[in-house]
Amino acid sequence: MSMLCLLERDGAGVTPASLRALSFAASVPATVGDEVTAVLVGPSADGAAADAALGAELAAAGAAALCLVSADGLTGYAPVAWARALEQLAASGDVTVVVAAATDRGSEVLAHLGAITGLPVAANCLSAVPTTTGCWQVVRQRWAGSVLEDALLEAPLALLTVATDAIAAEPWPADANPAGPGRADAALPVRRFTVQLDDADLVISAVESAAEAGGTSLATARVVVGGGRGVGGPDGFAPLEELASLLGGAVGVSRVVTSQGWRPHRQQVGQTGTKISPELYLACGISGAIQHMAGCLGARHIVAINTDPDAPIMSRADYAVIADLAEIIPALVAAIRDRRD
């Protein structure tokens, strides 16, 4: 019995979401002898076999082995081909669980895998525990995490995506994994697998990946300055941008701000926007609607500035200031600039 965990890589290596998914898979309590094989598909597997640092990183997150999948004609990200890779890998061994981070790619590949196999997919899981009857008791997010669902997953192969925004990255105990850092000299076993593809599996393939213009990414910003209806209009955001820039952070906004056209949608924080996980979320003129707060579950600290002391955000924030944004933001910017050590 074993588990597969699909990994994604970007320019900086294996993505943090994938490492969390790997930790999740490794922490699933299962029969002794179960192990997690990390899976890299297509070009994302290039150079991985010789990358000792990558092996150590994966072992530290709980992987017992690494599988590199290739195929003729597979030159980039192709969702159906990636799903075929997982399908054929699962069929080639005694695999009981396939896990991926609930990112665009992870959700997409597992949805295709579910469609190909006709099996259910449990999306945005927070935990999965095997039952004595061969099912899985899962806890998963609904309403982007505002509600949790307890569910029973009945399938010969459990397909799970992991709500990695809501799960902390836990280092895997060094002595729990024979291939892990407990044995620094033991390299992560690497296996190669060739997936058989039809032309139809390669019809959809990412043709281009163009970098966007710079600026701090909202999803990874250490500080997010949020602006809501209380900002009053499109002209009210310049002081927030100035404050965010001063704090080395990014501006995020609530849905009403984007639906009014005051700011572009890429700045939206919430269920249908970006999920943030900053050290500080400074929420300015934001009431704290459920759908907005669903995007802020990963924020370590929240400070609210609002004219309404009874706004729902007050029960989510650590600190609050009752004030008019037009007055306090310029004063705060000036105070930070004029500060002396």
Interface of this chain with other proteins, residues 39 to 98, rule: CB under 8 A: 77, 79
What's the token pair of residue 306? 């609002």
How many residues sit in the footprint of other proteins (CB under 8 A)?
Answer: 103
Based on CB atoms, which residue is closest to other proteins, 231 or 289?
289
Nearest distance in Å: CB 42, other proteins:
14
Out of 105, 164, 188, 253, the residue judged to bind other proteins by CB under 8 A: 105
CA atoms within 13 A on the CB side of 39: 31
Based on CB atoms, which residue is closest to other proteins, 171 or 264?
264
Q: What would the x/- binding string for other proteins be over residues 178 to 217, using CB under 8 A?
A: -------------------------xxxxxxxxxx----x
Question: Is there a contact between 125 and 167 (Cβ–Cβ < 8 Å)?
Answer: no
CA 298 vs. chain centroid, Å, equals 11
Based on CB atoms, which residue is closest to other proteins, 64 or 86?
86
Based on CB atoms, which residue is closest to other proteins, 90 or 102?
102
Angle at 279 between CA 277 and CA 280, to 5 degrees: 100
Nearest distance in Å: CB 156, other proteins:
9
What amino acid occupies position 234? P
Out of 22, 119, 240, 269, the residue judged to bind other proteins by CB under 8 A: 119
Nearest Cα to Cα of residue 283 among 243, 245, 327? 243
Q: Which long-range contacts (CB under 8 A, 24 or more apart) does 144-153 make?
A: 144/270, 144/271, 144/275, 144/291, 144/294, 144/295, 145/294, 145/297, 146/271, 146/290, 146/291, 146/293, 146/294, 151/122, 153/120, 153/122, 153/128
Residue bearing tokens 């525990």: 129
Nearest distance in Å: CB 48, other proteins:
19
Q: What would the x/- binding string for other proteins be over residues 3 to 32, using CB under 8 A?
A: -------x----------------------
Q: What would the x/- binding string for other proteins be over residues 249 to 278, using CB under 8 A?
A: x-----x--xx-x--xxx-x--xxx-----
37 binds other proteins (CB under 8 A): no
Nearest distance in Å: CB 19, other proteins:
15
Q: Which of residues 284-303 bind other proteins (CB under 8 A)?
A: 287-290, 293, 301-303
Handedness of CA 170, 174, 180, 184 (dihedral sign): positive
Question: Is there a contact between 78 and 43 (Cβ–Cβ < 8 Å)?
Answer: no
133 binds other proteins (CB under 8 A): no
Nearest distance in Å: CB 58, other proteins:
20
Based on CB atoms, which residue is closest to other proteins, 59 or 251?
251
Residue bearing tokens 């910003």: 221
Based on CB atoms, which residue is closest to other proteins, 147 or 174?
147
Nearest Cα to Cα of residue 265 among 277, 254, 250, 276? 254
Nearest distance in Å: CB 186, other proteins:
33
Nearest distance in Å: CB 226, other proteins:
14
Based on CB atoms, which residue is closest to other proteins, 186 or 314?
314
> For the packed helices 16-27 and 52-61, what is the interaxial angle rounded to 10 degrees?
50
Question: Is there a contact between 283 and 263 (Cβ–Cβ < 8 Å)?
Answer: no
323 binds other proteins (CB under 8 A): yes
Q: Is 85 helix (H, G, I), strand (E, B) or coil?
A: helix
